[in-house]
Structure 1
Amino acid sequence: MKKIRLWIADDHLIVRKGLGHIVGTCPEFVVAGESEDGAGTLLAVKKKNFDLLLLDLSMPDGGIGLISQLRSSWPALPILVLTMHSEPHLAARAIQAGATGFVTKDAGAEILLVAIRTVAAGGRFMDPRLTNALLFERLDSSEPLPEMLSPRERSILEHLARGANIKEIAAQFGRSAKTVSVQKSRLMRKLGLENNVELFEYAKRHGFGLL
């Protein structure tokens, strides 16, 4: 039987070794390698020597942006997020960015292994404890959701939530400050926000600026 090759991306050595031990209990899995930051993970993906990426959200150069980058360049790559963050809106953003599964680090080993098997087989997996929270959060919400924003608008909101100003964001995107300012105004209209205070409060509620 061909083994499923896993790549573990996490900035904590003890976590990587612990995950390796859990995975090692199953004969169908093998750890192909490890990385501790986004740059190392990108290099590993370029070599294409594994079948599934087990990805932490909080490591350097990681987060939602890394998921988007990976999904854009390698659309078929199975990405299972394993994180200490249990906020439902963050799980939703990770899936929207391109993750194929989401599990919290305090989930049991059995749940993690089921998640790996599911994602490796081409399916999708959400931590069972977050499923209901995600569903009812969206049913109960009366405000516009981030999903209605374009990818660029969500990226601008993320940078603003992290404290970047218009000029810094413009330099990051290679656009003029005027263009970014117009895009900021557009996203605020879409979300029904009147000022920067409301913008930052909205961003915090929906998990922007955390990663």
Structure 2
Amino acid sequence: MAGQPRLRVLIADDQALVRDGFGMILSAQPDITVVGEAADGAEAVERTRELGPDVVLMDIRMPNLDGIAATARICAETSTRVLVLTTFDLDEYVYDALRAGASGFLLKDMRREELVNAVRVVAAGEALLAPTVTRRLIADVVSRDRPARGSSAASDRLAVLTARETETLRQVARGLSNAEIAAVHVVSEHTVKTHVSNVLAKLGLRDRVQAVVLAYESGLVLPGDLGVPGETMPPARS
């Protein structure tokens, strides 16, 4: 992809063979450069500070500092996005990693094209969570410790949104993609993308994952809620 800056990736995993394998796949892409590796969480944090990668591939179980703690530090201190690597999609640690600020997660048995696409998606500012994963993972993580009516502080944050933006957030949290939201409300996908961008900006959120978590924490969406085609969007207030 001539003329475009290459995406910079750091690979953090305590297994050298895993780092080598991911590195070979990513380095073969014309738009991606592997700028470094880390064998544990502490090294991942330090290398991220030094190298400023766009994306970190982060294993969860690592010595010295685990991937969750490393993710939290990286997301708090830098603009680097983190993709969590896990063996099982229901790994309980994935929940904590998303709360720590990860932009998504990948299974270690993914196909190579899925790895490459994931890096590009997250680097572009999107979240890597399929709708079914959104419903299952995010609903579970917030339902474990959220009061039944949601956090009043989280709910108060939503007051800055217009009615249309609030409804867009609700649909995102229910697991609908931009295209699905556009189809339900008979608007363009570009319009939906604009609403999502406005929601993130107004709420000071990094990406779609954080928006979904906040929607559940505030009580805007309850665990188990699904996007329902045909629902009417409230009129947008000016």
TM over 0.5: yes
How far is 1:92 from its partner? Answer: 3.1
1:20-31 aligned at under 5 Å gives the runs 20-31=23-34
Structure 1: state its 5+ residue gaps.
151-211
**Post-superposition CA distance 1:99-147 (Å, at most 9, x none):** 0121110121121111110111111102x4xx425525777x7x94235
d(CA) in 2 for partners of 1:6 and 1:51?
Answer: 6
1:110–1:146: structure 2 CA closer, same or farther, 3 Å change rule? Answer: farther
**Post-superposition CA distance 1:44-103 (Å, at most 9, x none):** 1221342211111111112322222222222x2211112213216543332121001211
Aligned residue type for 2:50: K
Residue aligning to 1:84 = 87
Secondary structure of 1:58's match? coil
1:39–1:132: structure 2 CA closer, same or farther, 3 Å change rule? Answer: same
How far is 1:14 from its partner? Answer: 0.3
d(CA) in 2 for partners of 1:120 and 1:101?
Answer: 11
Secondary structure of 1:7's match? strand
Structure 2: state its 5+ residue gaps.
152-238
Residue aligning to 1:135 = 135
**Post-superposition CA distance 1:159-205 (Å, at most 9, x none):** xxxxxxxxxxxxxxxxxxxxxxxxxxxxxxxxxxxxxxxxxxxxxxx
1:100–1:40: structure 2 CA closer, same or farther, 3 Å change rule? Answer: same
Work out the number of aligned pairs and report it: 144
Residue aligning to 1:55 = 58
Which ranges of 4 or more aligned residues in structure 1 deviate by more than 4 Å? Answer: 136-139, 147-150
Residue aligning to 1:46 = 49
Residue aligning to 1:108 = 111
Aligned residue type for 2:7: I
d(CA) in 1 for partners of 2:5 and 2:138?
Answer: 40
d(CA) in 1 for partners of 2:90 and 2:106?
Answer: 11
Secondary structure of 1:54's match? strand
Q: Which of 33, 40, 43 is the aligned partner of 1:37?
A: 40
1:1-211 aligned at under 5 Å gives the runs 1-60=4-63, 61-74=65-78, 76-87=79-90, 89-126=92-129, 128=130, 131-132=131-132, 134-136=134-136, 144-146=143-145
Instruction: Please give the TM-score of this superposition, normalised by the length of structure 2.
Output: 0.54
